[in-house]
Structure 1
């Protein structure tokens, strides 16, 4: 009971932020509840800093609720849908994620940026936006300012991609389906992909969402690979905690994907599960938004913003080249 009372103020604050974000999403479906939650959290913390007694619950929301939400996200992924994209498109998705992360790390190194900051930006742009930033942070354990900066960049550049991708798709003469494949393979957040896909048409929207969810699935192997890498770079006995090779939330996420793929979960349950998953992730995103302080973003300087822009362009370029090859 003592632990619950310690967490209650922050949990209630984040629950309120999540509820408001969900209501905004219901009123304006094109606005993602997760993105609204991040923006609400950032607005709150830049106007009124929450007192210290809220901090334990905020940290619980940003970590534990986030991981539960990511686990439940796995129920939206069905391996059969991804397989129907074909081996060529699956190879493109893997190339986008691996090439996006390695390219971003090389660019970040050239810019003289910290490895942890580069990994967060690379993962957010290459995989699935803010959820990937937070999931990868469970492994790399970056500074709060680095996490907040990466999330802000994902929101900024991913939102700019919503009108840019449909415009360029028409300019390049891409067909409806290739346009949807490109949107799903290049835009950061699931909700941002939905917005861009809707502008391209129903057929493009369907394939865009499947491709994007396939990129979400890449969070599992990337987290495992980073966990292994970070363990090797932090030898035991040096006082620093070593991340697990396979984070527990990744195990749960993969288990939910396999469960969804067997179709044993009654279809009638899935809308309720999705509502719960959205609420959990919205609460976590509100908590992460509370760490996005304008003063901190100004302090980090232009390099993270340049890296976010270059990584966005790099990922979009890889995706476009891949789609042109296989579509």
Structure 2
């Protein structure tokens, strides 16, 4: 039998055992394989099912393009809702958008978009207008995502690509932001932002075991103001995502004397260290991991397990996205008095069932 006469079902079965690189190379071997791999929807639907399982297959093949858009009313995003939230936001003018940690994370200094998203989620939790929010995506939104992330695609050549190939590549694509590319949260701002230090974080350190050899060291300083980092994922497609932070713990002897002085005055301070993580999707839900989990016991047990030499992945929680969204997030450490530090490598979103 000639390879040109190979039944499609046999070809699909063979491709189950091939890596993505193998499949791309196979598409270059003959015209028939090229057409099947580049343009056949069914081929990529089979790959999605084989590589990601039946639940994600159902979500991204059978469901997501068929669901209607959620209404602004269900999302608390009507014009009336937004006007109320905007009015509430205007109470925090000037330095408050930097000095209040949550507003800082939500980029309140730039605009009210993040704050409106936060208030919408709060209202959905307090008084849900529906229990039927669904994940929804249009083909136009999928194309727009690729126009913004791939300079080689345009309105003409993207039509030659199977939409399920685009979905497959989105599912395997790394959704990761480096700590050194995030921004500082420094709450020691002054009126009209004349003394605003909320600029890109400058406390970088070299570490050969982190992703690019540089990371960020986080600790709270001796003042009352709290430090941290924040960032934003742009145009995340609908789905459920696990939020992972790759971190390492350290005890900074430079601040040991200061830490001991404070603890001698108040022994309760010995176990006061805590971290806090918060994220929200502007058309989805939020995720919070607070000091009840990321506390002294968490720090000491992981320090005992990993020491100050080894990086580890810390799951911060899970976030659900119903429509194409930006995801705001922030991470901080406090009450450590400079002694217990967190080194931050990157934050990553993993698609889950």
Q: Please indicate the TM-score interval, normalised by the length of the shorter structure.
A: under 0.3
Q: Larger C-alpha radius of gyration, 1 or 2? A: 2
Taking structure 1 as the reference length, what is the TM-score of the superposition?
Answer: 0.23
Higher RCO structure, 1 or 2 (CA under 8 Å, sep 6+): 1
The structure whose residues are more often helix, as a share, is 1
Q: Which has the higher strand share?
A: 2
